[in-house]
Amino acid sequence: MKTKKWMGACLMASMVLTQSPVSLLANEFTEVDQTNLEIINEGEEQRVSNRKSLDLIQKEINNASSGERIKIDGHFIGSIKIPQGKKITIEFSDGSSLTNAGYEQHTVFVDDGAELTITGKGTIVSKFEKAAAISNEGTVTLQGGVTLSYQSTKSPDHNWYTVKNIGSMTVNDATIINPFDSKASCVNNIGTRTGIMAVLTVNEGANIQGGFNAIKNGGYSKVIMTGGVITTNFQHAILNYDEVEVSGGLIENKNTDPRCAGIYNISSTDSKNNLQYYKGKVTISGNSKIKAPTAIVNTIDKNIDQHEDNSVEINGGTLIGTDCAIQADKNTKTTITDGEIKGKLKLIENADVTASGGGFTETLPDSVKTPEGSTAHKHQLTLVSKAPTCTEAGVEEHYECNVCHKTFADDEGKNDAKPKVIPATGHTYTWVIDKEPTKDHAGSKYQYCVVCHHKKDPVSIPAIGYTEKVES
């Protein structure tokens, strides 16, 4: 017993004198559960790890049958890999987490041909450069409140993507965060393999925020947004080189610099990855909303004159630009068939812009093409209000366009409004006797509204009759 105590004292003294990495690492990852951790000797180094437990989880993954659910309960440091051909669900217990352990070590790696669903209110974290919280080459679905986060232990200049997707990823009820506004995007969606397009689908409940760009959509890649929120405070909410389709949700850039866009669409060439073109194609429709200093920029790489695939199509939704709603650069093609365009249009020389529909808060530039039958118009607003009556509902004060009859809260048409209906007040009746009853004949009375003078049908008042005198 004395020998064991003496050895323990020596070990503690050694850790203090050498500023042991055990205590340093434990402090760095303060959220890690210290239960059942083992000390691993690596030469002169010692480090704390729950690798043993994580290895058991990796074995479960490797041995899992198709469709099996694997639960993560607690806090783990290290990485896991979903091998090719596996189709599994990882379920996080509330508050559980998985954090990578080093440089170029993705926290979760999904191999080509693997299918992974992640659910539960847990957190997947990357703390190291050139390592994502998830790097996906297969198929991934995020749901159930899971959060993916990048939390660099160094300066913001050393951060990286929270998600790197070169496969197919669907974000439902989940959050992806990169709190740093420099160097790296929050999500890097880029196809690099011949014949396979990277596809990122953002649905209702999704929240993608932060980064140099919230989403960088690179070559041979596609973003489909049906709902949810994509936000950044820095360069662009979506930097698009290939294809983006938005039919719902909110895209917002909270920066105030007019060079910063909701969607920055650029057509280009890419000889490095043997791709002939970056298409630069954006489609906006439905009830989507894009809000930024410049809602959409459509441009072409300065090294080329024209690009046959370049296009921005606005078939619905709302664009709100505090500086301008649409900036169309030289030799780009932009088509507007419907939607609300709140802000000016900025057209550079030879920009091809056609408006066959849509409502605008600003007068269209002369160079915008309006084909025969076009319903594109600047809103002509009239102040409208109606007080309720006894029988008809009223409506609160608002502005209405005389052309399309859309309604707004302000006289510039910048803020949509759904006017509040004021219920009918109902009649205020009082009884009026138009014929007094007598002993022999009935009388009559009716209800009369003191506001609108409406009369109800008269009703009878019984005759008074005779009162028989009784003699004592």
Say if CB 163 and CB 187 are below 8 A apart: yes
| Residue 223 backbone class (left: φ over 0; alpha: ψ -120 to 50; beta: rest) | beta
Distance separating alpha carbons of residues 126 and 26, to the nearest angstrom: 16
- Two structure tokens written together for 49: 């790890």
Say if CB 396 and CB 420 are below 8 A apart: yes
| Residue 453 backbone class (left: φ over 0; alpha: ψ -120 to 50; beta: rest) | left
What local confidence, expressed as pLDDT, does residue 220 receive? Answer: 86
To the nearest whole number, what is the mean pLDDT of the chain? Answer: 85
Query: What are the φ/ψ torsions at residue 79 (nearest 5 degrees)?
Result: -135, 155
Distance separating alpha carbons of residues 428 and 415, to the nearest angstrom: 38
Report the relative pairing of strands 275-278 and 236-240 from DSSP bridges.
unpaired
Residue 428: HSE in the Cβ half-sphere, 13 Å Cα cutoff? 5
29 confidence band (pLDDT: 50, 70, 90)? very low
| Distances, alpha carbon 439 to alpha carbons 279, 299, 381, 468, in Å | 97, 95, 66, 12
In angstroms, how far is CA 195 from the centroid of its own chain? Answer: 29
Local structure of residue 30 (DSSP, 8 states): T
> Hey, how many other C-beta atoms are within 10 angstroms of the C-beta on 155?
10
Distance separating alpha carbons of residues 286 and 207, to the nearest angstrom: 19
Among 193-197, 268-272, 400-404, whose mean pLDDT is lowest? 268-272
What local confidence, expressed as pLDDT, does residue 271 receive? Answer: 57
Question: 243 - beta bridge partners?
Answer: 222, 281
Residue with tokens 């900025």: 346
Question: 315 - beta bridge partners?
Answer: 338
| Residue 104 backbone class (left: φ over 0; alpha: ψ -120 to 50; beta: rest) | left
Question: 126 - beta bridge partners?
Answer: 150
Distance separating alpha carbons of residues 214 and 207, to the nearest angstrom: 10
Distance separating alpha carbons of residues 243 and 220, to the nearest angstrom: 8
Most trustworthy range by pLDDT among 29-38, 159-168, 300-309, 311-320? 311-320
The percent of residues in the chain predicted with pLDDT above 70, rounded, is 84
What local confidence, expressed as pLDDT, does residue 182 receive? Answer: 62
Q: Is the pLDDT of residue 269 over 80?
A: no
Nearest to 99 by CA among 131, 141, 144: 131
SS3 131: coil
For 87-106, write each residue's pLDDT tens digit: 999 999 999 999 999 888 99
For 62-85, write each residue's pLDDT tens digit: 999 999 999 999 999 999 999 999
Say if CB 201 and CB 224 are below 8 A apart: yes
For 226-266, write each residue's pLDDT tens digit: 999 999 999 999 999 999 999 999 999 999 999 999 999 99
- Two structure tokens written together for 371: 């084909």
pTM: 0.79
The average pLDDT across 179-204 equals 85
What local confidence, expressed as pLDDT, does residue 466 receive? Answer: 83
- Two structure tokens written together for 97: 């987490």
Query: What are the φ/ψ torsions at residue 174 (nearest 5 degrees)?
Result: -155, 160
For 422-463, write each residue's pLDDT tens digit: 999 999 999 999 899 998 899 999 999 999 999 999 999 998
Query: What are the φ/ψ torsions at residue 188 (nearest 5 degrees)?
Result: -110, 110
